[in-house]
Amino acid sequence: MPCAALARRRATARRDPSMTSPPKQVKTLILGAGAAGMMCAAHAGPGTLVIDHAKAPGEKIRISGGGRCNFTNLHTEAENFLGENPHFPKSALSRYTQWDFIDLVDRHGIAWHEKTLGQLFCDRSAKDIIALLRDEMDRAGADLWLEAEPGEITHADGLFRVEITQGGTPRTVIAEALVLATGGKSIPKMGATGLAYRIAAHFGHRVTETRPALVPLTFDETRKAAFADLPGTAVDTRITCNGASFDEAMLFTHRGLSGPAVLQISSYWREGDSLSVCLRPNLDLFAHLRARRAEAGGKALSTVVSEILPRKLALHLSAKLGVSGNLADQSDAALRALTDQLTRWELTPTSSEGYRTAEVTLGGVATDRISSRTMESAHLPGLYIIGEALDVTGWLGGYNFQWAWSSGVAAGRAI
């Protein structure tokens, strides 16, 4: 057909869906070409189509782990996840483990290293993980449509009918199985829409309260002013809130608090809660202060605080706590009181940076009507929900990708 005629036909088709190409029939339609969707496609067998509204697949993988993708954690267990049902992740995590994914990474010749606390990163680039998934999808014969937005979804006679717009052109896909893998709400700028929640709710699923998680916490103006001397200061801490505790670094920022310990505890923190911060948790502070008094009693107590903590923080706290005098002047009770202040420092953030910077969404599609073995809906056979869209939220450190791999494989194998 000549170009002008083709353009006219396309323009008409946009206005009149009956003029579009006939519906495409597939066995499996996966919405979302992120970590979970691509992994599912690699296991779902022939006749799989993955669609995504982004220009490229796996955009979050690309930016993850500072561009090196913390793709799993050696210590992954169900205990590293939050959700209404703490047992739900067990089955999928045990059927496709961190060792299975490491094996896959090795088979693709991707070099990796352990950074800290069992967190595995690519030596080179997160793009290696995207290439691995694309390769596995190709091997499985899965198709990928990009810049494709799903519209109306209906279900009748055991088949899903999904209206899709791709590059302005309407298309219809008929599928035996529909997989929701569009993730959560975090980082809307990167295309996060919460679409899976709306589709799941449409088919009768409950969606639990969702909140930004693994996110920096912020102070109001008064508290920001009180900590104005500290942005850029990092310190080893144990942060405790609502029964959870993490031993990692805390960082003061211009907005409030960040660093791994704060991101971790943000999943447990609620507005109004205080964080209990233990500075230098691996040091017996009271014993240390007494030992320093015995060997260097002439030293100023504030100098000894500077030996233990970063300089700016030591100055800040010494002024705030009225630290004065030499070590020799301090009674055991005074050293004990100082120890208590440094190990039970109460900090009260006002808010969080929200979905704009949150690594994940806490909450999601409730797991009570989802099979923990296959991720299939108990309301509607043929509907599967995987990855971050579910009410399964991992700690910081590669756990969320492991959940994407394990839940994606669980659904893919079952379809």
The residues that touch ligand FDA, with contacts defined as CB under 6 A, are 31-37, 52-54, 59-60, 63-65, 69-70, 149-150, 181-183, 186-187, 191-193, 195, 359-360, 387-389, 398-401, 404
What's the CA gap between 34 and 355, in Å, rounded? Answer: 18
233 vs 407, which CB is nearer to ligand FDA? 407
Q: Are 374 and 410 spatial neighbours (Cβ–Cβ below 8 Å)?
A: yes
Residues in the chain, how many? Answer: 415
User: For 9-141, where are the E strands, in sequence order?
Assistant: 24-31, 48-51, 70-73, 81-82, 112-114, 119-122
210 CB-near residues (< 8 Å, 6+ apart)? 184, 185, 194, 197, 361, 362, 363, 364
Please, what is the minimum distance in Å from the beta carbon of residue 375 to ligand FDA? 11
Nearer Cβ to ligand FDA (152/157): 152
Residue nearest to ligand FDA as judged by C-beta position: 34
Determine the 3-state secondary structure of 177 from DSSP.
strand
The nearer residue to ligand FDA, 363 or 387, going by C-beta atoms, is: 387
d(CA 186, CA 209): 14
Closest to ligand FDA by CB, 343 or 400? 400
Distance of closest approach, residue 112 Cβ to ligand FDA, in angstroms:
12
The number of beta carbons lying within 10 Å of the beta carbon of residue 231 is 14
SS3 assignment, position 399? helix
Q: How far is the CB of 99 from ligand FDA (least distance, A)?
A: 16
Which strand (E) or helix (H) includes residue 224? helix 221-226
Shorter beta-carbon distance to ligand FDA: residue 248 or 359: 359
Cβ contact 310:235 at 8 Å: yes
Task: Give least dist CB 297 to ligand FDA, A.
Answer: 48
User: Nearest distance from residue 110's CB to ligand FDA, in Å?
Assistant: 15
How is the beta sheet containing 244-252 ordered, strand by strand?
345-347, 275-279, 234-241, 244-252, 256-258, 217-218, 351-352
Element (DSSP H or E) covering residue 100: helix 98-107
Q: How far is the CB of 68 from ligand FDA (least distance, A)?
A: 8
Residue 32 vs 256, nearer CB to ligand FDA:
32
**What are 30's strand-pairing partners?**
50, 179
> To the nearest whole angstrom, how small is the minimum distance from the Cβ of residue 186 to ligand FDA?
5
149 or 176, CB closer to ligand FDA? 149
In which region does residue 256 sit, left (phi positive, over 0), alpha (psi from -120 to 50) or beta (all else)? left
Minimum CB separation from ligand FDA for residue 37, in Å? 5
**Minimum distance from residue 339 beta carbon to ligand FDA (Å):** 36
Kindly tell me which of 313 and 360 has the beta carbon lying closer to ligand FDA: 360
Closest Cα partner for 212 from 391, 363, 404?
363
Which of 269/403 has CB closer to ligand FDA? 403
Helix axes 127-140, 35-43, angle to 10 degrees: 30
Residue 44 to residue 47: CA distance in whole angstroms: 8
